[in-house]
Chain A
Amino acid sequence: MKKLALLRRRRALLNCAPISRDQLFDRSMRSAVSRAAGSIEFVNQQNFDRALAELVRLIPIPPETAEWFSEKDLGVGSKWTWKKMVRNPAVLAISIAVVVIAGVSVFDVLGRLNDFSGSATARKLLTVAASTRAVVLDPVNTEAGTLSDLFFMKHGLEHYDVPAEFADFQTIGCRVFDDEESRRVAQIWLAENRMQLFLFPAERDPKTGAVLRFPGWRYVHQEGWVGAVTEHSGVCFMAALRGQEKDLEPYISKPTGK
Chain B
Amino acid sequence: MRRIFSGISRVPDRKQNLPQLYRFCFLMLGDPRKAQEVFHTTLHEAALRAAQGELPKEPFWLFRDARWRCLEASKTDLQPEAIELDEHDLTPEAASQIEHLQPTQLAIWISNAPDPQRSALALFYLGEFDYREILDLAELKLSALSRYLSQGRRQLQAWLDAKHPEPRQV
Contact = CB atoms under 8 A, between A and B. Distances in A.
Interface of A: 8-9, 11-13, 15-20, 23, 25-26, 29, 40-41, 43-45, 47-62, 64-70, 72-74, 76
Given A41-B90, A61-B23, 9 more contacts: A9-B142, A16-B142, A48-B98, A48-B153, A51-B95, A53-B127, A59-B27, A70-B2, A76-B17
Interface stretch (B48-56, B79-87, B130-138): B130-138
Interface of B: 2-3, 5-6, 9, 17-19, 22-23, 26-27, 32, 36, 39-40, 43, 90-92, 94-95, 98-99, 101, 103, 106-107, 124-127, 130-132, 134, 142-143, 145-147, 149-150, 153, 156-157
Contacts of A43: 92
B6 A70 contact: yes
18 contacts: A8-B143, A12-B145, A15-B149, A15-B150, A19-B125, A20-B127, A44-B94, A47-B92, A47-B95, A48-B95, A49-B153, A51-B94, A61-B19, A65-B36, A68-B39, A68-B40, A68-B43, A69-B6
A66 B43 CA distance: 12
B32 A73 contact: no
Contacts of A57: 23, 127
Closest 3 CB pairs of A and B: A70-B6, A12-B146, A16-B131
Contacts of A68: 2, 5, 18, 39-40, 43
A51 B99 contact: yes
Contact of A13 (B6, B19, B40, B142): B142
Contact of B130 (A18, A44, A50, A56): A18
Contacts of A70: 2-3, 5-6, 9
B78 to A, nearest CB: 23
Contact of B106 (A11, A12, A41, A55): A55
A9 B131 CA distance: 13
Given A58-B103, A62-B32, A69-B9, A48 B127 contact: no
B116 to A, nearest CB: 14
A56 B125 CA distance: 7
Interface of A is mostly: helix
Given A44-B92, A68-B40, A69-B6, A59 B107 contact: yes
A68 to B, nearest CB: 5
Nearest to B19: A61
B103 A13 contact: no
The listed residue with most B CB atoms (<10 A of its CB), out of A25, A44, A54, is A44
A47 B5 contact: no
Contacts of B127: 18-20, 53, 56-57
A51 B2 CA distance: 33
Contacts of A40: 92
Given A26-B130, A52-B98, A55-B98, A11 B146 contact: yes
A16 B125 contact: no
B40 A65 contact: yes
Contacts of A69: 5-6, 9, 18-19
Contacts of B92: 40, 43-44, 47
Contacts of B156: 52
B113 to A, nearest CB: 13
Contacts of A65: 22, 36, 39-40
A18 B18 CA distance: 21
A56 B18 contact: no
A72 B90 contact: no
A60 B103 contact: yes
Nearest to A75: B19
Contacts of B124: 16, 19, 49
> Which of A13, A29, A51, A72 has the most B CB atoms < 10 Å from its CB?
A51
